[in-house]
Amino acid sequence: MSNPSPARQNEKQLTWRQRWYEIIFEADTPAGKLFDVILLVAILLSVVVVMCESVGSIREEHPILLFRAEWFFTLLFTVEYVVRIICAPRPLRYICSLYGVVDLLAILPTYIILLPFFQGERAQRLAVIRALRLLRAFRIFKLAHMLSEATALREAIWAARAKIAVFISFVLIAVVIVGSAMHLIEGGPDSTVESTSAEGGPDTATQPTGFDSIPQSMYWAIVTMTTVGYGDVSPTTPLGKALAACMMILGYCMIIVPTGIVSAELAQGRGKDISTQVCTECMAEGHDADAVHCKYCGTKLHHS
Amino acid sequence: MSNPSPARQNEKQLTWRQRWYEIIFEADTPAGKLFDVILLVAILLSVVVVMCESVGSIREEHPILLFRAEWFFTLLFTVEYVVRIICAPRPLRYICSLYGVVDLLAILPTYIILLPFFQGERAQRLAVIRALRLLRAFRIFKLAHMLSEATALREAIWAARAKIAVFISFVLIAVVIVGSAMHLIEGGPDSTVESTSAEGGPDTATQPTGFDSIPQSMYWAIVTMTTVGYGDVSPTTPLGKALAACMMILGYCMIIVPTGIVSAELAQGRGKDISTQVCTECMAEGHDADAVHCKYCGTKLHHS
Amino acid sequence: MSNPSPARQNEKQLTWRQRWYEIIFEADTPAGKLFDVILLVAILLSVVVVMCESVGSIREEHPILLFRAEWFFTLLFTVEYVVRIICAPRPLRYICSLYGVVDLLAILPTYIILLPFFQGERAQRLAVIRALRLLRAFRIFKLAHMLSEATALREAIWAARAKIAVFISFVLIAVVIVGSAMHLIEGGPDSTVESTSAEGGPDTATQPTGFDSIPQSMYWAIVTMTTVGYGDVSPTTPLGKALAACMMILGYCMIIVPTGIVSAELAQGRGKDISTQVCTECMAEGHDADAVHCKYCGTKLHHS
Amino acid sequence: MSNPSPARQNEKQLTWRQRWYEIIFEADTPAGKLFDVILLVAILLSVVVVMCESVGSIREEHPILLFRAEWFFTLLFTVEYVVRIICAPRPLRYICSLYGVVDLLAILPTYIILLPFFQGERAQRLAVIRALRLLRAFRIFKLAHMLSEATALREAIWAARAKIAVFISFVLIAVVIVGSAMHLIEGGPDSTVESTSAEGGPDTATQPTGFDSIPQSMYWAIVTMTTVGYGDVSPTTPLGKALAACMMILGYCMIIVPTGIVSAELAQGRGKDISTQVCTECMAEGHDADAVHCKYCGTKLHHS
């Protein structure tokens, strides 16, 4: 507190590269914070532009406007990308970082369609990859106390990673087994056999039940176990319905497991508002972080 | 207890405005409580009337009855609104409050259709906005100990607001990215290109897959991630199904995060096993149930 | 322990009514337990019979068998009902109790179809009301330690009843408001106006969108908020889809609230494995239920 | 630590059977771990082969490749099965164990289709039963600290088994009752009566509503209560919709119960803030972290 960092003290003597570095890469100074907010708004607007382009009616009404907005944001982000490379003390490190790759991917699609051998309009839509840049929003949260909350969340999930891995393994194995079982039960007539026999017409062969292959049955099993339940594939035979019903109740019971895991993990992290200090008199531990005296013998505690 | 509030003592000397204020705005006196219950029943009935009006068969059978009931409740609520303005010590403050605005909006729609330049019958249905007045029900709960429960709930949600904000941001970014990806994978042929080329017929162009634009794909992504799963839009290509399956499992895992957050928050509030004793020396509260000495000043606590 | 209850001691001297009362109404003796298990199996079988009767193919194949089984169980339950009335010390009290009413309702449907003025076959299916008798299963659990678990569950839900009531009120008000809004947005053309104007054909009038009335929209809102999502009704306009997406995320966030409530309530109940005894020496509380000595000063505790 | 197990010390003197036993059945040695990983990869690949076989297009393109892969894995697993039997100290015990039965079932289907009296191609697909062998994956987790996590999960679920049983019983009884009620409300006209009366055409009889029998209605009830909501069966009458809406809200409220149970159970296991100190007098463990005296014998505890 008494001795500020030299970077702050000699701000006037900073080179323009250092000054821009502070503005672009850090978010502690007012200028840096302002830059981040403006950037976030620009990213949001550019994502909206890509969205509008994908809607047929809007694209036909305002083709020029969208084209110009698209190139405006592309050039803006290109300039930002170049400045970032110039300002970064170690440019290669930035280019290879997650944010660097995302920044590059965000401007590439617009340039790609200029190339003569790549005229597909759909490449244009790849520009939506710049939605990934919205992840920068989390950098601004860094300023507020949201960071600690996000950290608590990340730590709870990280602490529960082994339990979640066990859980996901179990779900995936269940999906494979149930998917295969449903394929056996609900899968239509054996198409290999049927195609050789002349009695089956093409009508029955082209009528898919949605359980025609194991991967499709697994898709159904995932749709069902996660309780999404589109209904594009659903069992029709009594046996299939019975198995599906069992699986739903199983899935219903299973949703409680990971929820309980994370709840307990977070509750534990929350409950630990206890300082590590030990009473010098009675050696009692477990004092609250705001305790001044030992709650058992009344001795004054020495705060660390 | 020994000295009752003057308002109670001199009830007879109150002006009629003060008396009506107590009845209409407060719910502590028997008259005020009765008024609130009657009002709630009236609001419920008026909502039922608007509902009945929206059902074609009922509307055709009893057009006169519904018309009269509609105007009866509108006039009733108009009188109530006027009385509230008259009784309120600071009428403008009431008019601009949330309840004041809702009270006004609840009576406007019926009057609007009287205007010559606004003959749409649908305006009538706006009267359903008076369902918002049901929020007054929470005022009656104020009498019971439900208020403290509602407060505990609100505090738990408020304490978890940062975590929930981080979570919602993450969900929305995931929706944008997955929605865009599904648009690229499942979106039909490029309609701009197709419409200029003469080979595509209008049949293929008018056959929407539900992923024709990014907003529609985002709608699908939200329907899927929240496990609602209407099935009006569902992937058809193998790649799309695989991506959808991954997204479902992701969404399934994600539902555990906010649940755990609120559980831990509520458990913390509940788990505070704190005695009601007050330190006789420094008047500090919030001691643990097993504390012997005040943790702030070291004075021995007197257990109740 | 030293003086057994007189009922046990003088079992031989009991009248047959008292003996049968013990067997039928209580489940503490081996005979009573056996009776309850046999009864439960009979109830399960009778429910299966009613189920089989409702399946067309089974009903047509074994009409005589089902008819006999139906009457066998009806007569069996009738005998049981009569014996219960005879044995009960206060028959009226049993008849008016929940179990008494259910027992009566379980045998009535089969007799009803004998009446000349009630020949609907469907009355037969009312016999499925005897599924309610399965609730007797909980009486058998009484023997095991499941009762305490069920009690813990019931107490947790009961303790959270105020919070759950607040929550349900909020959900229902949200359903009314969102349902009304969707009716305004998605509800087809105003049928009253349309029917008077001659330009609309009957085709558009008979094409329901699923949002034709507020109750139907509320049905949709409930289907969506509970994430069931049949898909029989789903929004088609962009505005409706946007509102539906908002509502889904709201509903997704809301599912966490009651879960957290009950989790916290159960966690509290679990954590309370603490006896109410107070140390006579240091007056410390919060000792574990299995503690012998005060954990603060070492004085021996007097167990209650 | 000072005296290693003889098996380790005299590893060179081990017979080949004992050496192979260590490699195949145990996973503590590097060789055993490597064997388990290779086996897991082989199982994964064999499951992928069975999946590919079930997809028509892949099966028609590479029939020879799939046939060879199928037999390669079958023979590989056969050799492994035989070696396991030879190496196991008590072969019968292995054969009758869960893993032994699964290992046998995994190789049987391929041999079955060789039999002259069993030419159905679908038998081939039974080979997918080898997906069950993926459960071996949990053996590898044994090496990491995942085992303790899986144990914590299993213990939490086991501790909550009584509550979950009560819960499942309640859900099933609710499914039977609601399913029956919906069958009464939504079930089409009585087909037995209708078929005898000549006025009903075959069109109405062959038009199933999805509530034609109680088992089908129960299937719908399970689909709805678990919030899967396919939409292949959905109520059409107003009364049925109202009942379905009530049931959904009931189901929505019920999902919180088991979640809360497991959360509380896990939180309790976690929350045991118990010190590792042992009473020097009575050797009792499990003292609270803030205990000063042993709660069983009153001896003063020595804090670590």
Contact check, Cβ <8 Å, D176/C125: no
More confident residue, B115 or B32: B32
At residue B9 the predicted structure's pLDDT band, cuts being 50, 70 and 90, is very low
By C-alpha distance, the chain A residue nearest C295 is A296
Higher local confidence (pLDDT), C265 or B56: B56
Instruction: State the alpha helices, DSSP H only, in chain D.
Output: 6-9, 16-25, 30-54, 56-61, 63-87, 91-96, 98-112, 122-125, 137-141, 146-159, 161-186, 191-196, 202-205, 214-225, 238-254, 256-271
Residues of A in contact with D232 (CB under 8 A): 231, 234
Choose the mutation target among D161, D173, D175, D246 for the interface with C, i.e. most C CBs under 10 Å.
D173
Cβ pair D227:B227 closer than 8 A: yes
Nearest residue of chain D to residue B224 (CA atoms):
D228
pLDDT over 90, % of chain C: 3
pLDDT of residue C262 exceeding 80, the answer is no
- Beta carbons of C285 and B262 less than 8 Å apart: no
Q: How far is A256 from chain C (nearest CA, A)?
A: 10
Decide if D146 and A167 are in contact by the 8 Å CB cutoff.
Answer: no
- For the cut 70, the answer to whether the pLDDT of residue D279 exceeds it is no
pLDDT of C1 reads 41
- A254 to chain D: closest CA residue: D259
Q: What are phi and psi of D84, to 5 degrees?
A: -60, -45
**φ, ψ for residue A147, nearest 5 deg:** -60, -45
Give the DSSP H/E element, type plus range, for residue C225.
Answer: helix C214-225
Residue of D nearest to B271 (CA): D271
pLDDT at C114: 72
Nearest to C227 among A227, A259, A260 (CB): A227
Comparing B97 with C190, which gets the higher pLDDT?
B97
Contact (CB<8Å) D173/C267 = no
* pLDDT tops 60 at residue C95: yes
Tell me the pLDDT of chain B averaged across its residues.
72
For position B199, what pLDDT does the model report? 41
Q: Which of A110-119, A144-153, A219-228, B252-261 has the highest mean pLDDT?
A: A219-228
Are the C-beta atoms of residues A120 and B190 closer than 8 Å to each other?
yes
8 Å CB contact of A145 and B166: no
Asked which of A178-182, C165-169, C207-211, D269-273 is least confident by mean pLDDT, the reply is: D269-273
Q: How far is B235 from chain A (nearest CA, A)?
A: 9
Distance of residue B187 Cα from the nearest chain C Cα, in angstroms:
17
Which chain D positions have a beta carbon within 8 Å of A193's beta carbon?
A: 120-121
pLDDT of D142 reads 47
Task: Return the closest-CA partner of residue C25 out of C71, C68, C86, C70.
Answer: C86
CB-CB neighbors (< 8 A) of D131 in chain A: 173, 176-177, 180
Q: Which of C22, C29, C27 is nearest to C40 (CA)?
A: C27
Closest chain A CA to residue B250: A226
- The percentage of residues in chain B with a pLDDT greater than 70, rounded to a whole number, is 56
* Inter-chain touch A156–B260, beta carbons under 8 Å: yes
Mutate to test the interface with B, among A55, A263, A265, A285 (most CBs of B within 10 A): A263
Say if the Cβ atoms of B260 and A255 lie within 8 Å. no
Per-residue pLDDT band for D150 (boundaries 50, 70, 90) equals low
Nearest chain C CA: its distance from B146 CA (Å): 6
pLDDT of A192 > 60? The answer is: no
Query: Which of the four pLDDT bands, split at 50, 70 and 90, describes residue C79?
Result: very high
Confidence class of residue D296 from pLDDT cuts 50, 70 and 90? low
- Do A222 and B184 make contact, defined as CB atoms within 8 angstroms? no
| pLDDT tier at B126, thresholds 50, 70, 90 | low
pLDDT value at residue B296 = 59
Task: Report d(CA A256, CA A237) in Å as an integer.
Answer: 29
Q: Flag if B125 and C184 touch (Cβ within 8 Å).
A: yes
Enumerate the residues of chain C whose CB falls inside 8 A of the CB of residue D157.
none
Enumerate the residues of chain D whose CB falls inside 8 A of the CB of residue B272: none
| pLDDT of the residue at B79 | 92
Confidence of residue A194 (pLDDT cuts 50, 70, 90): very low
Give the model's pLDDT for residue A96. 87
Rounded to a whole number, what is the distance in Å from the CA of A267 to chain C's nearest CA?
A: 10
Residue D304: pLDDT band by 50, 70, 90 thresholds? very low
Mean pLDDT of B104-116: 76
**Res. B186 pLDDT band, cuts 50 70 90:** confident
C-alpha–C-alpha distance, residues D74 and D94, integer Å? 19
Query: How far does the CA of residue A194 sit from the closest CA of chain B (Å)?
Result: 24
Q: Which residues of D touch B230 (CB under 8 A)?
A: 231
In SS3 terms, chain B reads as CCCCCHHHHCHHHCCHHHHHHHHHHCCCCHHHHHHHHHHHHHHHHHHHHHHHHHCHHHHHHCHHHHHHHHHHHHHHHHHHHHHHHHHCCCHHHHHHCHHHHHHHHHHHHHHHCCCCCCCCCHHHHHHHHHHHHHHHHHHHHCCCCHHHHHHHHHHHHHHCHHHHHHHHHHHHHHHHHHHHHHHHHHCCCCHHHHHHCCCCCHHHHCCCCCCCCHHHHHHHHHHHHCCCCCCCCCCCCHHHHHHHHHHHHHHHHHCHHHHHHHHHHHHHHHHCCECCCCCCCCCCCCCECCCCECCCCCCECCCC
Q: Is the predicted ipTM greater than 0.90, yes or no?
A: no
Chain C residues with CB inside 8 Å of B258's CB? 253, 256
Contacts 24+ apart (CB under 8 A), B75-82: B76/B42, B77/B42, B77/B46, B77/B103, B77/B106, B77/B107, B77/B130, B78/B107, B80/B24, B80/B39, B81/B107
Pick the residue of A252, A295, A296, A302 with the most B CBs within 10 A to test the interface with B by mutation: A295
Of the ranges A217-226, B90-99, C134-143, D201-210, the best mean pLDDT one: A217-226
| Chain D residue with Cα closest to C254 | D252
Residue from the list B227, B231, B290 with its beta carbon closest to the beta carbon of D231: B231
Distance from CA of A201 to the nearest CA of D (A): 17
* Closest Cα in chain B, distance from residue C120 (Å): 28
Mean pLDDT across B73-101: 86
Most confident of C75-89, C110-124, D21-35: C75-89
Measured between CA atoms, how close is C257 to chain A, in angstroms? 13
Environment class of D161 (CB within 10 Å of its CB; exposed 0-12, middle 13-18, buried 19+): exposed
CA distance D103 to D85: 11
